[in-house]
Structure 1
Amino acid sequence: MENSQWNTEVNALLFRIQTQDKLALKQLYELTSSKLLGLIYRIIKDHAEAEELLQEVFIKVWHQADKYRGEGSALAWLCVMARNASLDRLRKAQKHPHISTDEHQEFISSLTEEFDESSNIALNRCLYKLKEQARESVLLSYVHGYSHSELAHKMAVPLGTMKAWIRRGLQELKLCLKP
């Protein structure tokens, strides 16, 4: 299935779920669960817990689908739900993922390869237009679950600098990805 057709299908399924269509939820799960599980696992670092949390995310989707208004990508909306649920789980367990400085490049490379495999060429292109510190900061924060203060400490920069890198990186991504 072509990427734009896939995105259209995911959007349509979310709107069907708003009408309590159980088949639409099943189809949405089939289309998106592997991507969301990968995102959750990168944050949680425990496969069984990630699978459990994925189920909880889809229960939230069922109950909160009416909050999706069709503005922006449905997948992005789902990813935000999965990321937030993952971070909430980490906070409750009071544990955080750890990546050494040497692993930053490996992590970014693996993530970029994943985007290539899922035909998300535009996102990949836009990520690599960012300055290196902004790209790393955005990816480590939004995909891997680091807080701004954790990243500032890890990268040895002031908190304000870290927030600026992330804010600018997100703004540049948004502009780059606009149709």
Structure 2
Amino acid sequence: MKKDTKQDELEQIYLIFAKPLYFYLLKLTGSHHTAEELVQETFYRATLSLDLFHEQEVKSWLFKVARNAYMDEWRKRKRWKWVSFFEQVIDSKEFLSPYGIPEEDLAEKEKLGEVNDVLELLPEQYRSILYLREHEEFSYEQIGETLELSGDQVKITLYRARQKFKTLSQRMGKTF
């Protein structure tokens, strides 16, 4: 009976967090395919270490596991010297809505593309902290757990990431 409970618990966790993890990993990798693989790897690792998980909040813990999976993949690809880890694979249908004004959709898509262009120039830790705070709306405490930073380090790193984003945006002639 205990085994079924753990399986049910993991299934519920998957249903709740697979999509947010996918989008987080997509932002880090720029590749739909790689993001899907890393989500699978994240839940594989989570399954292996579910018994070790006790105190941390599930969301922070899973994002930490996902980030570690991403870093392992990045190191592996860097070691193999593959051309580019950050492929720009954007499915245009993903951003189109059957409702709304096409001009607004296009403007939003262009702005998102410009934001992504700037984000790709940031170091991984800055991209991660901005994504977790601005998109996933993590608290400082959750970010600290996910990125293994103290509360002060979270605030400092987030400030620096925002400043670097602003500087790069201005250099590229973008205003957000």
TM-score (norm 2): 0.49
